[in-house]
Amino acid sequence: MPGAATPPFDPYDPLGLDDLLTPEDLAIRDTVRKWAADRVLPHVAEWYERGELPGIRELARELGGIGALGMPLTGYGCAGATAVQYGLACLELEAADSGIRSLVSVQGSLAMYAIHRYGSEEQKQRWLPSMAAGEVIGCFGLTEPDHGSDPAAMRTRAVRDGSDWVLSGRKMWITNGSVAGVAVVWAQTADSPSGIRGFVVPTDTPGFSAPEIHHKWSLRASVTSELVLDDVRLPADAVLPEVGGLRGPLSCLSHARYGIVWGAMGAARSSFEAALDYARTREQFGRPIGGFQLTQAKLADMAVELHKGVLLAHHLGRRMDAGRLRPEQVSFGKLNNVREAIEICRTARTILGANGISLEYPVMRHATNLESVLTYEGTVEMHQLVLGKALTGLDAFRG
């Protein structure tokens, strides 16, 4: 309004993006931020160094308690939050660590979303309330040892045996796999015109196992597993009845990628703020390094890309809430935001110098985590081709 005082410049919100958020948005964001500050940040460097996520089941129950699991889903104990509110939660969780955001994303945007959107009422009633509460952890089995970007070529098979289904195959790089109580597994079916179908698999079913993958140098504070399906026999009602073909898993991935658009900016924000605080206090040549032009140029460029990315995420969230978000637009967001987040982390590392490689600071941990985020749920090249096809009308995936 005319004559109103201009608010002071906030280095942590230079565009005033908080003005876009409602009081409820801010309350949800602050709740998740406080939980992460209390429960993750004091321990995550040690978890990362040890390559484990101890107490994951307790963390899942706590995340369920604050409504973070299956946040944008409605009914069945889910919070029914907006897409923007879910995005804000993803940003705050990944500002703590990508592994924590991955736990929530796989639980809610992949496993729960698949059951919520494509499951029978019986499947929804059986699984979703306990998953929303964090009492049951879920995983999502699509990627295979030899088939990642081309899931249509998967080798996992489901064949009929009387009224039952029998699943055989392997899935790889599965977040939450070793601790999951239920797995949503996608398999080729010979007798279905749709080809690929989804199955809800209780992990205590004979023939199912999930050995944990070790020796990772990224997402170390996360449970990553292989799924082995050795003639896993399931009843007829284990199949997700409302979808067939690749449309099912790809729509789940699009939902999860939306969370990554926000989450990557959380890792970037944490690294930027660490670099900004360091530049204000670290002295060389008799003054703080933040007073040198080259350091200020780095900080300015990092701030521009960080807050452009948050603004992009917010725009996509509003489109999702309006029912107008297209998969190509999610690819736009994931491609840009993860790429820029990695660059922000790398630049932050240069400002911190040798201290940048220490786990006393979050920068290198975020940078190595983002190397996984860059390629999971769609590599850079796949999202470039999605956008290329949308822009030209020409399919370059197989040509």
Contacts with 237 (C-beta within 8 Å, 6 or more apart), sequence order: 120, 122, 123
Per-residue DSSP letters for 136-166? S-EEEE--BTTBSS-GGG---EEEEETTEEE
Contacts with 301 (C-beta within 8 Å, 6 or more apart), sequence order: 347
Question: How large is the C-alpha radius of gyration of the chain?
Answer: 22
Per-residue DSSP letters for 105-137? HIIIIIIIHHHHHHS-HHHHHHHHHHHHTTSS-
Whether 377 is catalytic: yes
Placement of tokens 């940048």 in the chain: 356
Pick the catalytic residue: 135, 305, 377, 381? 377
Helix, strand and coil content of the chain, in percent to the nearest 5, comes to 55, 15, 30
Amino acid, single-letter form, for residue 35: W
The rounded distance, in Å, linking the Cα atoms of 306 and 268 is 7
* Contact (CB, 8 A) for 182 and 127: yes
Residues annotated as catalytic are 377
